[in-house]
Structure 1
Amino acid sequence: MLKITRKSVFVLIMIICMVTITALAGCSNNSANNSANTNGTTPAANDKNTDTNDATNADPLSAAAGNAIIEADLAAVVTPDYFKNTPEFEYTIQLGPTPLEKGSYGQRYFEKKYNVKLKFVDIDESNRKEQLNLMYATGTTPDIVQVSLPDVSDYSKQGLLAELPTAMIEEHMPNYYAMLQKYDPQLLSITRVNGKNMGLARFNLNGGIPRAGNIRADWLENVGVTEIPSTIQELEEVFIKFRNDDPDQNGAKDTYAISNPSDYAGKHWFQSIFGAYGTNPFNWVERDGKLQFGLTAPETKDALKLLNKWYELGLIDPEFIMDKGRSSDAVDIATKFAQGKLGYVDSLNFDDVQWDNDGHISFRWVANQPEWQAWFEANKDDKTKLYSTGVFTDFDDSAPGPIYITMPPVTGPEGESGYQREGYSNSVVVFGKHLEEEQEKFEKLLKIMEHQHSDFDSYLAQSYGPEGLMWVKNDKGENALNADWSKHELFHPQFKKLGVNWITNIMNWTNPEFMAIWGPQTEQRYKLTGDVIREYPFYEDLLKVVLPSQGKYTELLDTRVKEYVIKTIAGDIDIDSTFDDTVARWYKDGGEILTKEANDWYSSTK
């Protein structure tokens, strides 16, 4: 049951008025200009065939009903004083997808809220990089563009981008600046080119949460282990028991400790084990202040020798060469873990281990545990309780059934530990060179971004639209996603009809405090799960750009590494007799060039 509020009554009145006026006038919606390159201020009429002649038969999922909600919401938008008292600049933007029609809700909200005009640059998203190159080559330089990190250097060297001094970020985006300082200060320097900052990294909360290891608590108990392993040696002892001591108590020797997501990027292969040695054969790591490719690090040799030992002991599933990390129609690692074939998994995201009967691990786990099935069924109508279970970090006898423990990374022989993470930024925004000569316009744009990042009501509207469409208030007065939204005539999977989310909210998903806004399930995901795992030690690939020669030497960074890792673990080749020659050949075949380019970039960020 939805809560009836004063606002919802007002919306209903608006719907009736609009439909009645339309019926009396005998009007129909005219076809709107379909170009996203033009600026518009008229309502987006997203359905040209809706019958609106009878107010009493108005379909709540129709475009007419949706547009009435939009008009009511926009009528209530208030422009803050700062933006009201600054010039009405026109901003040309290219953030990715663009609205299907001019005058979308997102565009009109943005324009009214910030006293500006918006003009979208429409490009073919299926070939984004080439289209961006063509855009710039034909003389179109938007005020703001979303790019990948490697593009910053390319476009900066072509003289297309405005410098964004760090002091400007701190002055005009103080909340965002402080947040970057808190989570990862390096994000303020990764966009430097030849000592100048040429862009702004967009914060990505999920990328800052590492892929944690998970171990079956019931197996630990069944083999007599009462403490979570904290060192690589203790983990090895547990793994031996998982293989030899019948942890599933079925009387057969049919269990393994660990496997490998062969379909994943190499950096996720046995990532927690490599982390215990302070390396990863697929990452660029720092040694003596310089970047070194992980395959060439001596610590990688030590980790591979351990993995080969485990394989010879039968601890690693012999199907590790072809096991899938994630699949909806085949037995993957999560399925093997849940079904009692594996005792440890370290390759999945934090939301996969969330105890919501929806994550990739938790869904399969519940499907194999009758006690958990009964618990979820009994609490399905109490969302607060249903999503009250945080990650288990130790044994817990109060749990409804068997659990998996999300454990801190084990420490290696030299005290190293960590799980692989992607990093807090996966995209960057850059600014047109002309803004260096239009400081007031530049500063206003930064303040708009700060407002989008900091003001919850504006963030909600610009990411998810007005109340009553994509989201509603439930009977407890909480924000909740509308279960019927996908049936609405204004629905579009990329938000192109409403024109919100990534289309007009430059700072979408950048505020950690705005992630858990859809009630208990998102609170469980980000607070009871993500916030716990985020605190675990981590490591990440320190190279954040595509190297100039990378396309020429892709095999050196992927295929060759995978082949060597698989063959050494499986014992097809001897590590001691081949490692040094493998490293020397890697450098000779192009690794020297890649290493020089990597360090040229690395030094430019300092």
Structure 2
Amino acid sequence: MKFREYRKAVLVTLGALLTTSVAAGCSQSAEKPATSTQGSAQSAAPTQSAQPSTEKPIEISWMVPQLTEENSYGQKLIEEKYNVKIKPYLIAYADYAQKQQITLGGGEIPDVMMVLDPVSLQKFASQGLLAEVPVDTIAQNMPKYKETLDKDVKQGWYYSLYDGKNYGIPTFYPGGRFNAKAEWRTDLLKKAGIDKIPATIDEMTTAFEALKKIGVYGLSSGAPNNAWFALFKQIFPAYGTVPPQWTLKDGKVVNGAVQPEAKAALTQLANWYKKGYIDPDFVTGKEYREKFIAGKLAYYDYGGLLDLDETNASSMISLAKQTNPESKIEFAPLPQGPGGQGDWAWGAAGNIIAFGKQLEDDPEKMKKVMEIIEATDMTEQGFQELALGKQGEHWDYKDAAKMEAGGAKLLPPYDNVDKRLGIGLGDGGSFNPFTRQFAAEITDKWNTEMIEIAQKYNMPKVDLFGKPDVLPSSGKYWADLVKLKNETYISIITGAKPVSDFDVFVKQWNELGGAQLEKEANEMYTQVNKK
């Protein structure tokens, strides 16, 4: 799953970091870098941010998955402050992966580019399009960034790895530290005679039986767009596994999809389905959120920090109260079972900033880009300048007495996220089009109350590699394996296949490439952890 698709789907879980959601960019794009020197007055960067230099600016062609204006505010700020001239590739996110492949395939290689996923990086590196970026070079020029990666975002090093060499700078994704919130319609529980929010699998079973008597399904799954990772993603961890993540078990890397613990979870889910506790539409994820709001479902496993905000007319609770003024939604502990508890999370690594092959012969340009990213993503000043913008014009404190601890409010017309991204600023939270995400140690200082809420009931289960499709043969096998897993799991849960067919599935998984990926997973884990 692409980073932005997931980010959009669970944006409400990032309320500690974001004040608004990122809307999709418009569909216009340019395959060539922008060369116009005429920027609007609105886009001109403030001269006080500049550090004048008599040296000739370093020219950098920079490809980012965001449709910004030519000579945008953010671009000009970077140019004046660091004595560079950026030639941005103006590409809408929806077109980015395709346009990037076409551009590079045509022999035009930007100096700097955002690569969205490890599979793409492996492909570009194998084609000789990317410069090797030694980890020692990152450590020398980006010491604080490197230290933070090693401490908090170690999975990112898997994203930039190809054939034993490093080909980029992993980026941060602070929101990936938090799992989605478990939520209960406690008004429905009360109506069914349940006074305590269920905290265990057994208590959920009791509650589901009571809810069935008042015509309410206990749970569904699938999440927005029926995401492949989201199938009952808070139930499987209660049995000790997270399909289809890679994890360590008895010192060996294995995939959670084929573990005996997954079979135990499927046995419970099949029993719940047979008894009528699970909405049959879980197969497609159809109207999952809408049914919870309407009171047709009592348990929701894809909740976020803003769902209980009654001051927001579009929040979960506000919409539920439009249907029933007595509606009540509460966050709850993740269900505990024989294998513990937890929920899928992506981890704190995001994408990869890669360099064109030509920069192997231009180390000064690579060093300059590293300097920009280090100074931007790892400092308070960088965050304010490129995530928020100019205080009093683009943003201000929500509470002047609390300052950053109270959070930032975006000022009109810059409270429109498309407009902010268009002028090369961030979304008001953790993101900027050019340098991507800021370090958590920087963003966590903003709106500390939301961070406290995010930490409650936070038991993230993160893949050993962050993204499970990072392995060399993922492009060959992963899509078919995920399809096999989803189809088999759904068939077992609905009773179309007996639970005993799980053993047949394990055999098929290994034959269709699972065994090869497991071999590569162990090799990659050993390789990275020797560093």
Partner of 2:366: 442
Q: Is the 8 A contact 1:91 1:118 kept in 2?
A: yes
Out of 332, 340, 343, the position equivalent to 2:298 is 343
Contact 2:199 2:333 in 1 (8 A): yes
Count of residue pairs the alignment pairs up: 489
- After superposition, the Cα gap between the structure-2 partners of 1:565 and 1:176, relative to the gap in structure 1 and judged at 3 Å, is same
Deviating more after overlay: 592-601 vs 110-119: 592-601
Q: Which residue of 2 aligns with 1:271?
A: 233
Contact 1:266 1:562 survives alignment (8 Å): yes
Distance change in 2, residues 1:547/1:128 (3 Å)? farther
Of the three residues 114, 133, 143, the one matched with 1:146 is 114
- Residue 417 of structure 1: SS of its match in structure 2? coil
Q: Kindly state the Cα deviation for residue 355 of structure 1 after the two structures are TM-superposed.
A: 5.6
Residue-by-residue CA offset, 1:338-369 (whole Å, 9 max, x unaligned): 44332211134444455653565333334345
Letter of the 1:423 partner, please give it. Answer: G
1:439 deviation in Å? 3.7
* Cα distance, 1:303 vs structure 2: 0.5
- Aligned in 2, Cα 1:569/1:35: closer, same or farther, shift over 3 Å? closer
2:438 is aligned, of 507, 510, 517, to: 510
Q: Report if aligned partners of 2:161, 2:167 keep a CA contact under 8 Å in 1.
A: yes
Name the structure 1 match of 2:319. Answer: 364
Is contact 2:219-2:298 (8 Å) kept?
yes
Matched, 1:412 2:337: yes
- Establish whether residue 481 from structure 1 lines up as the match of residue 410 from structure 2: yes
1:233 alignment partner, one of 183, 188, 202: 202
Out of 216, 223, 229, the residue aligned to residue 255 of structure 1 is 216
SS of equivalent residue, structure 1 residue 120 = strand
Structure 1: any 5+ residue segments left out of the alignment?
1-33, 46-66, 245-252, 325-331, 372-401
Cα distance in 2 between the residues matched to 1:530 and 1:85: 47
What is the CA distance between 1:429 and its match in structure 2? Answer: 0.4
Q: 1:529 to 1:157 in 2, by over 3 A?
A: same
Larger radius of gyration between Structure 1 and Structure 2? 1
Q: Does 1:427 align with 2:351?
A: yes
Match in the other structure for 2:79:
111
Which letter maps to 1:347?
A: Y
Q: The residue matched to 1:112 in structure 2 has which SS?
A: helix
Tell me the TM-score normalised to structure 1 length: 0.69
Output one character per residue of 1:523-569: Cα deviation in whole Å (capped at 9) or x when no partner: 66x42532435x32424474443556556656632333222222211
Match of 2:12 in 1: none
- Cα distance 1:427–1:350, how it changes in 2: closer, same or farther (>3 A)? farther
Q: Hey, what's the Cα distance between the residues in 2 that align with 1:149 and 1:201? A: 10
Query: What TM-score, normalized to structure 2?
Result: 0.78
Structure 1 residues 131 and 323, CA gap change in structure 2 (3 angstroms): closer
Instruction: Classify the secondary structure of the residue corresponding to 1:306.
Output: helix
d(CA) in 2 for partners of 1:134, 1:474: 44
CA distance in 1, matches of 2:490, 2:128: 45
State which drifts further: 103-112 or 544-553: 544-553
Rounded Cα–Cα distance in structure 2 between residues aligned with 1:550 and 1:598: 10
How far 1:76 moved relative to its partner? 2.0
Match among 5, 25, 44 for residue 39 of structure 2? 44
Residue 154 of structure 1 deviates from its aligned partner by 2.5
Closer, same or farther in 2 for the Cα pair 1:260/1:197, shift >3 Å? same
Match of 2:86, SS? strand
CA–CA distance in structure 1, aligned partners of residues 335 and 415 of structure 2 = 44
Hey, what's the Cα distance between the residues in 2 that align with 1:348 and 1:122? 34
Distance change (3 Å), C-alpha of 1:43 and 1:530: farther
- Percent identity, aligned pairs only, is 28
Q: Superposed, which structure 2 residues align to 1:8-23 within 5 Å?
A: none
Shift of residue 98, structure 1, vs aligned partner? 5.3
Q: Distance in 2 between matches of 1:355 and 1:589?
A: 49
> Which secondary structure state, in structure 2, belongs to the residue aligned with residue 142 of structure 1?
coil
d(CA) in 2 for partners of 1:369, 1:363: 10
Of 547-556 and 211-220, deviating more is: 547-556
List aligned pairs for 1:280-319, cutoff 5 A.
280-319=242-281
CA distance in 2, matches of 1:159, 1:104: 32
CA gap of 1:367–1:278, structure 2 versus 1, over 3 A, is same
Q: Letter of the aligned partner of 1:169 in structure 2?
A: I
Q: Which amino acid aligns with 1:511?
A: A
Q: State the alpha-carbon separation in 1 of the partners of residues 79 and 134 from structure 2.
A: 27
SS of match in other structure, 1:347: strand
Q: How far is 1:308 from its partner?
A: 1.2
1:574 aligns with 2:503: no
Instruction: Provide the aligned C-alpha RMSD in A.
Output: 3.8
SS in 2 for 1:461: helix
